[in-house]
Structure 1
């Protein structure tokens, strides 16, 4: 039986927005939402008239650098995950059509949670596309309990998220591009192995300050080394994001698709796959990349 596993201090908030005019978005629009979120957060908290964060005398106490600082080494440890719904097939969200965005805040962001929630609301109201189409918020709810959240009131405390019992078989769905590097190269659907997912999950938990116990980590690695995907249907999708910092368009391709895993003799692998479904994996996780759905098959 796998070791009991829980994640503590994580806040997950679901926002339901509707655009006021037709909104054109990419299939995976996390980059656009993150850009709008970052600008809104800076407008809200910057006491230095929106000067660049680099060299700012308040950088050590301001919440914005932790969320959006230029230090590339900090990217993997960003204290939030912003994951919008996948866009409709035609890339258009029409007026009145509901569109959900999930904001996950890690324990290190708890003191800034109220700012983050307000910043996302203001980002949507200001518009998130090149046309700056504004969106109205129709609902805010706790993603775990479904309880509504009053945007004008205080936030409820985050609750522990407990890993469910391990299924004998699990279906994994990579619903947004998964970007995991090995030896400097990105893994593809042909080279990805279950052990890569377990290793990436352990690294992500450690970086976020939520490390798995050594016993669980060792057992999961050993079990994952014996596993192979069943019925894999893993492909590659390219998406483009515009980096305002670099003033250029960047290609952000990754693995998408699904596969089955038999966990009958690999029960310690399950908590790591479950954690990945909450925290995402790989590069670009803060903008919703690396989202993995794990469900009993």
Structure 2
């Protein structure tokens, strides 16, 4: 059985893309654009890759296993998950949208930037995703379909001491440039981390965590730790076929009991998204703010730093659950 000090998380490849659109006319968009981007992108991706009639359902399509759309948007479970994951209707989506600002009003020529994180096997689909973003921009964003143009896309290079952005797509030439080099979580997570007794965990976008089927801002570090572990292992299990997963993480949770939340500065923040499938507005609020953690935190540093990339909680695909970590 693993102890808290020797537990090894599975390596998860990831790729961070940054897109820059250019507004072609005056546009009025929501301040928080995660849901808008995800929805418009999904429609554009399906139009771009699906060769079946419009009424064909993904779940019984003969091309389901080879099509980029269901692998990203209709992530059906094809193998039995471990007991604590049972009950999932679909696997977690292997991507996260990260809007970069809250700008609402755009004049012609204004830029709109956002990041898109891809995990595991979805990385191989990046050319399809870039094409879908280009089509999404042409079709238009928002209920009034404001047109944009995909000017450029970059990928984040983490092979040097300071991460840098390298161009991946030239919109004027409609050309993909050099292939990106994905990064990996947990590959060398402890190299730059020393023993830490205090940590500030900042929840930067609304975070939705359910405990006993209720959304709350009151929880222990052990409860939070389990949510982070589950996020990591779900993505590895469903989207990283080569992942080596140690399901015996109980001792890590036991050690989490010794971590104290000395300050809880969380507050609720509401926002709404429109669901096209249900044709209704849905509340997607969550908590933002800071937690101060005290205790022997070294064993947990790889986990919390990985969740800076992965996000946690409900609605991560929209950008919910983004966290930041600062040494106390």
What is the TM-score of this pair, normalised by structure 1? Answer: 0.86
Aligned to 1:135: 148
| C-alpha contact 2:100 2:113 (8 A) present in aligned 1 | yes
Residue 81 of structure 1, CA deviation: 1.1
CA RMSD, Structure 1 to Structure 2 (Å) = 2.7
Query: Once structures 1 and 2 are overlaid, which stretch shifts more, 282-291 or 138-147?
Result: 138-147
3-state SS of 1:222 partner: helix
CA separation in 2, counterparts of 1:101 and 1:211? 32
3-state SS of 2:165 partner: coil
The reply on whether 1:44 has 2:48 as its aligned counterpart is yes
**Aligned in 2, Cα 1:19/1:183: closer, same or farther, shift over 3 Å?**
same
Structure 2's unaligned 5+ residue stretches are: 77-86, 170-174, 237-242
CA separation in 2, counterparts of 1:104 and 1:239? 22
Aligned to 2:19: 15
The reply on whether 1:165 has 2:193 as its aligned counterpart is yes
Aligned to 1:102: 115
Aligned to 1:224: 256
**1:183 pairs with 195, 212, 231, which one?**
212
What is the TM-score of this pair, normalised by structure 2? Answer: 0.78
**Aligned in 2, Cα 1:94/1:174: closer, same or farther, shift over 3 Å?**
farther
User: What's the CA shift string for 1:172-220, capped at 9, x where partnerless?
Assistant: 2212111111111112x2x1332232111111111111676457x4454
**Aligned in 2, Cα 1:260/1:19: closer, same or farther, shift over 3 Å?**
farther
Residue 73 of structure 1, CA deviation: 3.4
The reply on whether 1:56 has 2:71 as its aligned counterpart is no
| C-alpha contact 1:219 1:268 (8 A) present in aligned 2 | no
CA separation in 2, counterparts of 1:168 and 1:93? 45
**Aligned in 2, Cα 1:248/1:70: closer, same or farther, shift over 3 Å?**
farther
CA separation in 2, counterparts of 1:211 and 1:125? 41
CA separation in 1, counterparts of 2:203 and 2:113? 18
Aligned to 1:262: 294
Query: Once structures 1 and 2 are overlaid, which stretch shifts more, 19-28 or 124-133?
Result: 19-28
CA separation in 2, counterparts of 1:159 and 1:281? 19
**Aligned in 2, Cα 1:24/1:213: closer, same or farther, shift over 3 Å?**
farther
| C-alpha contact 1:220 1:266 (8 A) present in aligned 2 | no
Aligned to 1:200: 227
User: What's the CA shift string for 1:213-257, capped at 9, x where partnerless?
Assistant: 457x44542332222333432111111111111222111121111
Mapping of residues 267-286 of structure 1, within 5 Å: 267-286=298-317
Aligned to 1:119: 132
Residue 121 of structure 1, CA deviation: 2.8
Aligned to 2:168: 150
| C-alpha contact 1:80 1:105 (8 A) present in aligned 2 | yes
| C-alpha contact 2:198 2:297 (8 A) present in aligned 1 | no
3-state SS of 1:36 partner: helix
User: What's the CA shift string for 1:107-164, capped at 9, x where partnerless?
Assistant: 1213322211221232133222112222333442222442323322253231334434
Aligned to 2:268: 236
CA separation in 2, counterparts of 1:267 and 1:221? 14
| C-alpha contact 1:139 1:148 (8 A) present in aligned 2 | no
Query: Once structures 1 and 2 are overlaid, which stretch shifts more, 65-74 or 15-24?
Result: 65-74
3-state SS of 2:166 partner: coil
CA separation in 1, counterparts of 2:23 and 2:38? 17
User: What's the CA shift string for 1:40-59, capped at 9, x where partnerless?
Assistant: 10011000143343443333
| C-alpha contact 2:10 2:244 (8 A) present in aligned 1 | no
CA separation in 2, counterparts of 1:41 and 1:95? 25
